[in-house]
Amino acid sequence: MPEQTEKGYDLCAVAGTIRLISGKYKAVILYHLMDESLRYSEIHRYVPYATDKMLAQQLREMEKDGLIVRTVYPVVPPKTEYALTEFGRTLRPLLLEMAKWGETYFLKEKAAGPGAE
């Protein structure tokens, strides 16, 4: 498929992808939602350094972008669940690749990382 890939074309693709998943906590949240739906508080536990404001904001943005769905259960106490949409699930390979790369080169760069060249 990417045979006929033009430079300026992929440029937009890459930029668009970055725009959707860059955001301080987005990729991390998406990564955790890959396996299971999570409640607001559960997500927050995964990203404790994020404030409520930031978390809600990033979640709303991703919801607007069609990456996740928000389901509110009208119960007491309130319960809200976040899950990947079909669209969001297509990010799986990318998220795994990111985790893999980060794991291999970013966390193990003590041996041969930046400055090594």
Partner DNA sequence: CGGAATCCTCTTTGATACTG
Partner DNA sequence: CAGTATCAAAGAGGATTCCG
Give Dmax over CA atoms of the chain in angstroms: 58
Q: Is 37 left (phi over 0), alpha (psi -120 to 50) or beta?
A: beta
| Cβ proximity to a copy of itself, 38 vs 40, nearer residue | 38
- Binding DNA by CB under 7 A: which of 49, 86, 110, 111? 49
d(CA 77, CA 108): 43
Can you say how many angstroms the Cα of residue 15 is from the centroid of all Cα atoms in its chain? 15
Q: What type of residue sits at position 74?
A: P
Judged by beta carbon distances under 5 to 8 A according to partner kind, the member of a copy of itself, DNA, none in contact with residue 57 is: DNA
Task: Check binding of 85 to DNA (CB under 7 A).
Answer: no
Judged by beta carbon distances under 5 to 8 A according to partner kind, the member of a copy of itself, DNA, none in contact with residue 36 is: none
What does the binding site for DNA look like in residue numbers (CB under 7 A)? 23-24, 39-42, 49-54, 56-60, 70, 72, 77-80, 82
